[in-house]
Amino acid sequence: MKEFDVIVVGGGHAGIEAAIAAAKMGCSVGLFTTDKNAMGRLSCNPCIGGSAKGHLVHEIDALGGAMGLIADKTGIQFRTLNKSKGPAVWAGRCQSDRKLYSQEASRVVQSTTNLEIVEDTVVEAIQENNEIAGIITGKGVEVKCKALVVCSGTFLNGLMHTGMTATKGGRYGEQPVVGLSASFEKMGFVSGRLKTGTPPRLDKNTIDFSVLEEQPGDDFPEPFSLRTPKELFPFLPQISCHITFTDKAVHNVLEKGFDNSPLFRGLIDGVGPRYCPSIEDKIVRFADKNQHQLFLEPEGLDDDLIYLNGFSTSLPEDIQNEAIKLVKGLENAVMVRPGYAVEYDYFPPYQVDLTLETKLISGLYFSGQINGTSGYEEAAGQGLVAGINAALKIQKRKEFTLTRGEAYIGVLIDDLVGKSTDEPYRMFTSRAEHRLVLRQDNADRRLMKYGYELGLIPKEMYDELKERETLISLSNKIVGEARLKPDAANRALEKNNSPKIEQSETINKLCKRPNVNLRDLLNQLDKSKYPLAEALLKDEKAMQQVEIEMKYEGYIKRQSDLIIKMEKLENVQIPLSFNYKDLNTISMEGREKLHRIKPRSIGQASRISGVSPSDISILLVYLKN
């Protein structure tokens, strides 16, 4: 078999982004997967995006990744969550057709130049002098490479649990990967075990939807990708999800199965996700709650399966079945497939750098659940960064990293490297201290320049962004200077139930009022005096940016100032060879954490749990001397 520049292990969301990015950057890429038709398989929830996760999808798209495009093409319901709140927490969510998503992902991967799909497992990684040299496949074939990106998902020594029955597998109907974990452990990496789970699937023809609360999508849905033609979107018919609830009777039945729960009997070694617990976890941890919300989500337009979101479980099959029939609307529901838990190997992420290259072996990158994360979007963001950096390393170009002030992807990776994790890590808006600046609506303004420089974004798309930036900049000046007389202003204010004015006022000040929007105010402006207002009215995205920045001007400025202040600490570099053990004036815990993580900068060091402000002060003095 021929040699590749980059080998990517795994055809999930991380593997797709890593392989496509490296290939588009000019590297020859071999993507190793057990089934080329199972690319991007939505093995758990058939949905992309959601709170904070939607931000990640927009950022992946702005950098030139594929997830947003695939989701737009195969979505059967689109909703923007948290619309009643501020723009920092608006989040796109797409219910996807599971089968079509995988088909579209496979089509995108197979049509990528420089990318070859190899249907085989990878059971061993080969290193020479602490540099990656190649892999050995399940068929015993040795393949050389210059960089290896491992995106193994839940397959490393995967074990699935339903009740007291344990079956080897990475997910339903698929075998685990055995040997690769041991290969990394021989190199000196430390491994651990994590757990995730999935709920039962129900036959939609046996559910009484008439008694359930309907949850439709948006009337005017928004795509994830800037490359999706709005005139064709949405591509597929849109359908509703539904909501129901458990009750005390359901909980009582589930509790009967606790004696045969692998979770409570200690048969599962892996730590489960804190923020997406199983239904049995919820009953124990939230004993005061008499009900839990469940979402009935269709798996596809031509699929009879319903995903029972909120009912993830590894309890015995008969207990699952009995409990489900006590839920409103599910009295006659047929369970097509029971829920199960899957535990798998991961490698605590303090062992990777901000580029996602491992610290022990040059040219070896970890991304996705192997780093302890949970979720398609977190995996895809990591895969994109890992694939980019693998290509850059081979091409001897400057590495690519994102800061916490630039992107949620930067927050994600910084958290993983600096804080590590002993439970599945999930992204939340609360994890980002600069979230008003890191909105999903401005992902292109923050990140597209990088996508363009890396060769992942076409020139015409970047030129369009620069033209919009010019319009936004000029418009910011106009709204600060242009004044509306009372007659004109009050027409807009009355429309929005806002108090009238008696003296002329700037658009900037008027627009800061609740419920008053920029479009109504611009429509009252004399266009002969301000011709640029007409251009702004025609560019919905530019107008949205101007309005958000105007309404939240003070808050955005404070966060921007804080980002600049933090950048000063990020710019104080620490050599990777720095010997922390010689710094006796730093606390013992601080020395151990710094030595283990090897932060790149004072900024990164200051965020490590266990490193105190006094440790940082001493380190700063030492570096200056």
Coil/strand/helix, residue 92: strand
Higher pLDDT, 162 or 331: 331
Same domain, 582 and 479: no
Task: List the 201-203 sheet strands across, edge first.
Answer: 213-215, 241-245, 293-298, 305-309, 201-203, 335-337
Coil/strand/helix, residue 302: coil
* Residue 622 β-bridge partners: none
CA 399 → CA 9, 148, 355, distances in Å?
Answer: 21, 16, 7
Coil/strand/helix, residue 174: strand
Q: Model confidence over 480-531: pLDDT tens digits?
A: 889 999 999 899 899 888 999 999 999 999 999 988 999 999 999 888 888 8
Q: Where are the alpha helices (DSSP H) in 439-531?
A: 443-453, 459-481, 486-495, 507-511, 518-523
CA 390, CA 400: separation in Å to the nearest integer? 10
Q: Is 399 within the bounds of a domain?
A: no
Q: Is 100 within the bounds of a domain?
A: no
Asked if the model's pLDDT at residue 174 lies above 70, the reply is yes
Asked if the model's pLDDT at residue 434 lies above 80, the reply is yes
Confidence of residue 278 (pLDDT cuts 50, 70, 90): confident
User: Pairing state of beta strands 213-215 and 241-245?
Assistant: antiparallel
Q: Is 547 within the bounds of a domain?
A: yes
Q: How many CB atoms lie within 10 A of CB 370?
A: 31
Confidence of residue 549 (pLDDT cuts 50, 70, 90): very high
Give the least confident one: 31-40, 68-77, 113-122, 391-400: 31-40
Q: Model confidence over 591-605: pLDDT tens digits?
A: 989 998 999 999 999
Q: Which helix (H) or strand (E) holds 291?
A: none
Q: Among the three residues 310, 340, 370, which one is the final residue of a domain in this structure?
A: 340
CA 429, CA 431: separation in Å to the nearest integer? 5
Same domain, 510 and 583: no
Q: Is 160 within the bounds of a domain?
A: no
Same domain, 233 and 311: yes
Nearest to 443 by CA among 104, 28, 62: 62
Same domain, 464 and 519: yes
Same domain, 583 and 616: yes
State the Rg of the chain over Cα: 26
Nearest to 511 by CA among 496, 526, 528: 496
Which tokens is 593 given? 């954490």
Same domain, 232 and 326: yes
Q: Is 528 within the bounds of a domain?
A: yes
Determine phi and psi for 317, rounding to 5 degrees: -60, -40
Q: Is 231 within the bounds of a domain?
A: yes
DSSP state of 601: B
Cβ pair 31, 118 in contact under 8 A:
yes
Report pLDDT for 356: 98
Q: Rounded to an integer, what is the distance from CA 243 to the centroid of its chain?
A: 25
Asked if the model's pLDDT at residue 610 lies above 80, the reply is yes
Q: Among the three residues 340, 371, 404, which one is the final residue of a domain in this structure?
A: 340
- CATH code of 586's domain: 1.10.150.570
Determine the length of the chain: 625
Confidence of residue 623 (pLDDT cuts 50, 70, 90): confident
CA 1, CA 258: separation in Å to the nearest integer? 51
Domain that holds residue 274: 201-340
CA 148, CA 163: separation in Å to the nearest integer? 37
Q: How many CB atoms lie within 10 A of CB 368?
A: 32
Same domain, 206 and 332: yes
Q: How many domains does the chain have?
A: 3
Q: Is 494 within the bounds of a domain?
A: yes
Average pLDDT over residues 562-578: 87
Same domain, 535 and 591: no
Within 8 A by CB and 6+ apart from 330, the residues are 202, 207, 208, 244, 324
Q: Model confidence over 37-86: pLDDT tens digits?
A: 889 999 889 999 999 999 999 999 999 999 999 999 999 999 999 998 99
Asked if the model's pLDDT at residue 566 lies above 90, the reply is no
User: Pairing state of beta strands 29-33 and 115-119?
Assistant: parallel
Average pLDDT over residues 532-548: 93
Report pLDDT for 273: 67
The pTM of this model reads 0.94
Q: Is 418 within the bounds of a domain?
A: no
Same domain, 472 and 587: no
Question: What is the four-CA torsion angle of 176, 178, 183, 184, rounded to 10 degrees?
Answer: 30
Report pLDDT for 213: 97
- CATH code of 514's domain: 1.10.10.1800
Asked if the model's pLDDT at residue 266 lies above 80, the reply is no
The owner of tokens 């659940």 is 369
Nearest to 177 by CA among 195, 196, 149, 152: 152
Average pLDDT, the chain: 93
Same domain, 330 and 205: yes
Asked if the model's pLDDT at residue 567 lies above 90, the reply is no
- CATH code of 245's domain: 2.40.30.260
Asked if the model's pLDDT at residue 268 lies above 80, the reply is no
Q: Among the three residues 281, 316, 340, which one is the final residue of a domain in this structure?
A: 340
Report pLDDT for 285: 86
Same domain, 468 and 588: no
The owner of tokens 């990164």 is 604
Same domain, 548 and 575: no
